Structure 1
Amino acid sequence: MNKLLFLDFDGVLHPTHFAGQDPFNRVHLLEETFDGSNIGIVISSSWRFTHNFEKLQKLLPNSISSLVIGVTGSPVIGKHPRYQEILNFLQSHGVSNWKALDDSYWEFPSPCPELIRCNPNTGISEKQMQELSQWLLN
């Protein structure tokens, strides 16, 4: 696997405020996009602080959880924390081709070509899936 996707949950797999809705109600879009792809998924969501790795995997459909290879490490305090956490993970795993699906754009430098920015009010949509598909094909 030569590509890694860093996956946030809130604002990506469901709207940030999903009260009354199913959590992970947008995950089916990822299933369609990843079908047959050779990609590793790393969970960068803050859910990693309250759920262990096995629990995080169980929250996702099998077709996606089978692609999950880990979680980003300790939280980084300071400028662009999510981006720094991702760089720390990349350094220890020797991968340089990556994207992040995230709604917390302020946690990344601007511009950040690796960031596929999601709308926190809706989660992922066709727009982000097209961008992700283009990257997977290249």
Structure 2
Amino acid sequence: MDRILFLDFDGVLHPTHFAGEDPFNRVHLLEAALVNQPLGIVISSSWRFTHSLEKLRKLLPNSIAQLVIGTTGAAVIGKHPRYQEIQAYLHSYGQAHWCALDDSYWEFPTPCPELIRCNPNTGITEKQIALLTTWLAK
């Protein structure tokens, strides 16, 4: 797999505070964008600390779940932790073109051209899907 999407959940697939709303209420946007795309998905969400990989896959629509190839590893403490977790994954996985869908921009260096930043109050929107589509077309 030469393309990897690092996927956060909270603030991406649903608003960070989704009380009264269905969790994963934005996943349909991602699902439509990934149809027939040759890529692997690595879950970088903190949900990986409380759910097994099998459980994480079951939370996602099958079309996305079948693309999930793993999760990032142990939490990193320090500067740009999510970015460092991704780099550690890539170090063990091998070279790949990657991008991250994430709302935690402070967990990445600035600038980070691989980051597609989501608004934590809304999750992914057509704006982020357009950026993802552009990345997929490269």
Which residue identity lines up with residue 96 of structure 2 in the other structure? S
Deviation at 1:122, TM superposition (A): 0.1
- Match of 1:53? 53
- The question of 1:41 aligning with 2:37 is answered no
Question: What secondary structure, in the 3-state scheme, does the structure 2 residue paired with 1:41 have?
Answer: strand
Per-residue Cα deviation, 1:2-41 (whole angstroms, up to 9, x for no partner): 1000000000000000000000000000111000100100
Give me the whole-angstrom Cα distance separating, in 1, the residues matched to 2:119 and 2:101: 10
Which residue identity lines up with residue 79 of structure 2 in the other structure? K
Give me the whole-angstrom Cα distance separating, in 2, the residues matched to 1:123 and 1:53: 22
Structure 1 gap ranges (5+): none
Percent of residue pairs identical = 72
- Match of 1:20? 20
Question: What secondary structure, in the 3-state scheme, does the structure 2 residue paired with 1:135 have?
Answer: helix
- Match of 1:106? 106
Give me the whole-angstrom Cα distance separating, in 2, the residues matched to 1:31 and 1:47: 19
Give me the whole-angstrom Cα distance separating, in 1, the residues matched to 2:135 and 2:107: 22
The runs of at least 4 consecutive aligned structure 1 residues that moved more than 6 Å come to: none
Give me the whole-angstrom Cα distance separating, in 1, the residues matched to 2:27 and 2:133: 15
Give me the whole-angstrom Cα distance separating, in 1, the residues matched to 2:48 and 2:9: 10
Give me the whole-angstrom Cα distance separating, in 2, the residues matched to 1:95 and 1:113: 17
Deviation at 1:77, TM superposition (A): 0.4
C-alpha RMSD of the superposition = 0.5
Give me the whole-angstrom Cα distance separating, in 2, the residues matched to 1:121 and 1:41: 23
TM-score between both structures, scaled by the size of structure 1: 0.99
TM-score between both structures, scaled by the size of structure 2: 0.99
Contact 1:4/1:95 (<8 A) preserved: no
Question: What secondary structure, in the 3-state scheme, does the structure 2 residue paired with 1:20 have?
Answer: coil
Deviation at 1:50, TM superposition (A): 0.4
Deviation at 1:52, TM superposition (A): 0.5
Deviation at 1:89, TM superposition (A): 0.2
Which residue identity lines up with residue 122 of structure 1 in the other structure? T
Count how many residue pairs are aligned between Structure 1 and Structure 2.
Answer: 138
Give me the whole-angstrom Cα distance separating, in 2, the residues matched to 1:13 and 1:49: 17
